Structure 1
Amino acid sequence: MVSKTEVRQQIEELNLNRVGRVLGRREINELPRILLEHEHIEGLVYGRYRNRHGVVVATDQRLIFLEKGLISLFVESFDYNQITSLRFETGLLFGAVEIISIGSEGRISGVDKTQILPFVEKIRRHLKQKVEEVKQGSGDSDDYLDELERLARLKEQGILTHDELNEQKKRILKEKKAV
């Protein structure tokens, strides 16, 4: 569990606007109980998700939507490995972020438009890192069966498309024949 002091320090480092910190204060107070050990907050925005008002937190491991009511708590998280698409839009004052993941999709609306792009960039960086891990792993394996199994798992997780999986399988089998 992450301490309250660590959460406060991480929130301060984000330089959030006062509105987001005031509106999301109950949710921010719950973060020490929600975050995993060694999980680090990288971004936070206030918005609406499924008719709930709360904060969306980008950590180094996942996205978390959190709404703290007077006696209730709602938490939904999106693992970066499961996210297949990310979209955003802005209007005059507010905007929205749309997250599409395996088996789920979510739209966070009512987000301060000045915070959307920096927040989305933090998420994109993690998604890009996952793609790079896939690319690096595809050329390093000596055992082609392990490599094929790993690729199949990546497709199941939604990181690779069906076409990308087939392309990688052809490449591996071609390399196997060449050896």
Structure 2
Amino acid sequence: MGKFNVRPDIDAAAEKAGPALGSKREIQQLPSVLWEGEHVDSLATGVYGGGNGLVALTDRRLVFFKHGIMGQKLEDFPLTNISSVQWTAGLLMGTLSVFASGNRADIKSVAKAQGEALSGRLRMLLATPATQAAPAVAPVGAPDVASRLATLEQLRAAGAISDAEYGERRAAILASI
């Protein structure tokens, strides 16, 4: 997406993502919609809710942001509310499907390389304990590990993670006990 001199984390994510494809305004305005201390990890462009905009993955949420001349659209999905993510790709473009709070949001027309990178990074963030919602009463020892392993198995069964990712994450969970 190029160099924008907005903020170091945003500039780094934009460089990793490649060409901006109509999201220059959104990248420049992104700091205005971020929370204090929020760090941008990955960026992509896509179509959601009838508008072409910017998809930003931060350390706290996935954000779709469209900043137009006549108005703006912002929708965010806190990482703690996302149960899974699905990436479906064609030859050049794909669809990022986010499952959060019992709903499904499809962000379409995402460039293949951007979508693969963003969905992979999002899966990694979802599998880390820091982004998983804390239970009302934290179980001790085995039940916590069992629930994490069950969630991991559901992600693999849904095709949200590969067998290799499953093996790595399962080993990490077992190593944590």
Structure 1 and Structure 2 fold alike (TM over 0.5): yes
Cα drift, residue 52 of structure 1: 1.0
> What does residue 23 of structure 1 align with?
22
Q: Normalising by structure 1, what TM-score?
A: 0.68
CA deviation after TM superposition for structure 1 residue 71, in Å: 2.4
Residue of structure 2 equivalent to 1:117: 116
Deviation at 1:134, TM superposition (A): 5.6
2:80 maps to 81
Partner residue in 2 for 1:12: 11
> Over residues 50-69 of structure 1, what are the superposed CA-to-partner deviations in whole Å (9 max), with x where a residue is unaligned?
21110110000000000011
Letter in 2 for 1:57: A
CA distance, structure 2, for counterparts of residue 55 and residue 44 of structure 1 = 7
**Shift in Å, 1:114:** 1.2
Deviates further, 44-53 or 121-130: 121-130
Identity percentage of aligned residues? 28
Deviation by residue 1:93-145 (Cα, 9 ceiling, x = unmatched)? 1111000100432111111101112111211122101477769x5326xxxxx
Which protein is richer in helix relative to its size?
Answer: 1
Relative distance call for 1:107 and 1:52 in structure 2 (3 A) is same
> Matched residue pairs, number?
138
Distance, in Å, in 2 between the alignment partners of 1:132 and 1:68 is 30
CA RMSD after TM alignment: 2.9
Q: Which residue of 1 aligns with 2:139?
A: 138
Please say which of residues 42-51 and 117-126 is displaced more in the overlay: 117-126
**Structure 1 runs of 4+ off > 6 angstroms?**
none
Runs (5+) with no aligned partner, structure 1: 141-146, 152-160, 162-179
